Amino acid sequence: MARTVRVRSTTWLAEGVVQVEFRDPAGGELPRWEPGAHLSLRLGNGLVRQYSLCGDPAERDRWTVAVLREPNSRGGSAWVHERLTAGTLVEVEGPQNNFALEGAERHLLIAGGIGVTPLRAMAGQLDGDDADWRMVYCGRSRSGMAFVDELAELGGHRVRVHADDEHGGPPDLTGELAGLAPGTLVYCCGPEPLLNAVEAALPDSADLRVERFRAPERSAAAAPDADSFDVVCASSGVRVPVGADRSVLEVLDEAGVAVPSSCQEGICGTCETKVLSGSPDHRDFVLSPAEQESGNTMMICVSRCRSAELVLDL
Ligand code: FES
């Protein structure tokens, strides 16, 4: 559900990283959220962008996000940095959580740069629960890494900060992950090279949960073939063909069936739609293998259908 919030303050956390604090304009409580959740901000330039909540879920009167100004910003982070000032009203959706903290014997949190934001909230919860957890926080240089002091204070020996410029290069993740204790659930959020390195170094037996900033590049050779199929909206009876080069989201939009969307890369979860029948061909990075197996919902911006007809709860 969309709501309007007011920017209460902005604070510089690190080089290029601004924290934005939102409050309810009428001073009321904001909806609850769990670590790993994000807000979708409707930016005034027509874009919608997701930012992880990084504060304390127990603070019901405020939400905070931290945003790195990307040098190659597609308009999201630059807008946040330039336009969000105290008093600005912003439309937001959420909180929504595709990266929820699950129970495990022990947790390892691996953060890369601004990927620390959801993990900072997780660290707070795990510490409050007296759980067995540790964190590896990587970045190019401490000057650009938000929450370093706060995390060190929170976790002490549990938090290892690795700044590349202090260690002569990136961390040895193979060594870090080689001796992983059984029952460890690993959470990783950061840039694609870090996620790839963690996926490559993780023992087969370990469980990993990741949150991506962008969909990974797929080479043409690795891209799965796309077939044509029909999509049917159960409520309205709208039926439209989905060509091999079109997305379900696109053809429905053209047919007048508007479904909220944001990333259009299968990473944010905004376009998740209930499936009534058909055989979804999941191509997103949000649903877990078990959720994909169940076939109950799909991300219609990227996912397709293996059967001739896909019936959606629209
Ligand atoms: S719009 Fe983000 S997953 Fe579809």
| pLDDT average, residue stretch 45-71 | 92
**Cα–Cα nearest to 101, from 183, 170, 185, 218:** 185
Indicate whether 266 belongs to any domain.
Answer: yes
| pLDDT average, residue stretch 110-126 | 97
What pLDDT was estimated at residue 304? 95
Question: How many separate domains does the chain show?
Answer: 3
Tokens of 42: 């409707």
For the segment 253-303, what is each residue's pLDDT rounded down to a tens digit?
Answer: 999 998 988 888 898 888 999 999 999 999 998 888 888 888 799 999 999
116 and 158: one domain?
yes
What pLDDT was estimated at residue 223? 58
Among the candidates 37, 72, 97, a domain finishes at 97
For the segment 219-266, what is each residue's pLDDT rounded down to a tens digit?
Answer: 555 556 778 999 999 999 999 999 999 999 999 999 999 898 888 889
Among the candidates 97, 122, 143, a domain finishes at 97
Q: How much distance in Å is there from the Cα of 284 to the middle of ligand 1? A: 8
What pLDDT was estimated at residue 129? 95
80 and 110: one domain?
no
Closest protein CA for atom 3 of ligand 1? 266
pLDDT category at 112 given cuts 50, 70, 90 is very high
Ligand 1 pocket test, candidate residues 42, 287, 299, most atoms within 8 A of CB: 299
Indicate whether 64 belongs to any domain.
Answer: yes
186 and 261: one domain?
no
Average pLDDT over the chain, rounded to an integer: 91
Q: Would you say residue 74 has pLDDT above 80?
A: no
What pLDDT was estimated at residue 222? 57
197 and 111: one domain?
yes
Q: Would you say residue 309 has pLDDT above 90?
A: yes
Tokens of 212: 């991506």
Q: Would you say residue 124 has pLDDT above 80?
A: yes
What pLDDT was estimated at residue 219? 54
Indicate whether 198 belongs to any domain.
Answer: yes
pLDDT category at 90 given cuts 50, 70, 90 is very high
Q: How much distance in Å is there from the Cα of 306 to the middle of ligand 1? A: 20
79 and 7: one domain?
yes
268 and 181: one domain?
no
Tokens of 252: 């429905």
Indicate whether 222 belongs to any domain.
Answer: no
CATH code for position 302: 3.10.20.30
Indicate whether 218 belongs to any domain.
Answer: no
For the segment 173-200, what is each residue's pLDDT rounded down to a tens digit?
Answer: 988 888 888 899 999 999 989 999 999 8
Number of other CB atoms surrounding residue 120 within 10 Å: 25
Pocket of ligand 1 (CB under 6 A): 261-264, 266-271, 284, 286, 299, 301
Ligand 1 pocket test, candidate residues 98, 211, 214, 268, most atoms within 8 A of CB: 268
What pLDDT was estimated at residue 260? 85
Q: How much distance in Å is there from the Cα of 112 to the middle of ligand 1? A: 23
What pLDDT was estimated at residue 272? 93
Indicate whether 221 belongs to any domain.
Answer: no
Please give the backbone phi and psi of residue 113, each rounded to the nearest 5 degrees, phi first: 55, -130
200 and 122: one domain?
yes
For the segment 128-178, what is each residue's pLDDT rounded down to a tens digit?
Answer: 999 999 999 999 999 999 999 999 999 889 999 999 999 999 999 988 888
Which atom number of ligand 1 is nearest to the Cα of residue 302?
Answer: 4
Q: How much distance in Å is there from the Cα of 32 to the middle of ligand 1? A: 23
Query: In which domain, by residue range, is 163 found?
Result: 106-212
Q: Would you say residue 206 has pLDDT above 80?
A: no
**Cα–Cα nearest to 213, from 192, 230, 186, 227:** 192
17 and 93: one domain?
yes
What pLDDT was estimated at residue 36? 96
CATH code for position 136: 3.40.50.80
What pLDDT was estimated at residue 221? 53
What pLDDT was estimated at residue 214? 75
Indicate whether 219 belongs to any domain.
Answer: no
